[in-house]
Structure 1
């Protein structure tokens, strides 16, 4: 499942995938794969992304099963 919420938050902060990746200590490819739903990030990485984008874990990574 694609992580559209992550992409939207990243764009709202005017960050490219590469810029976000640098801030959280991963590669641009990792951010791209997370956004595509092809990579399951560690909790530590999720928290780093959330802090960088001023969002909570629920806001960026919780899947609302009622919308599926």
Structure 2
């Protein structure tokens, strides 16, 4: 089975809400560096943190997070 990579639209959703990384971090109880790492795909959030981010950004999970198949060419 091929490995799927969890991607996110966190930066886009955050900017739509006019929130800085620090403001979003404060809303969900993590550091600004954690938000930065998630946005740069260096850190995969736990299920709890992903849910908190969805709530804070008022986005459904499937809108904010998605799987990318490394074998699938980008459109």
TM-score (normalizing by structure 2)? 0.80
| CA distance in 1 between partners of 2:73 and 2:17 (Å) | 26
Aligned-residue offset at 1:54: 0.6
Rate the CA distance shift 1:45–1:11 in 2: closer, same or farther, 3 A: same
Q: Is the partner of 1:63 in helix, strand or coil?
A: strand
Richer in helix (by share): 1
Richer in strand (by share): 2
Aligned-residue offset at 1:30: 0.1
Identify unmatched segments of 5+ residues in structure 1.
none
1:40-68: CA deviation from partner (whole Å, max 9, x where unpaired): 11000000000000101111111254564
> Among 36, 40, 45, which residue is 1:36 paired with?
40
TM-score (normalizing by structure 1)? 0.87
Structure 1 segments, 4+ long, off by >3 Å, are 64-68
Q: Give the number of aligned pairs.
A: 67
Partner of 1:7: 11
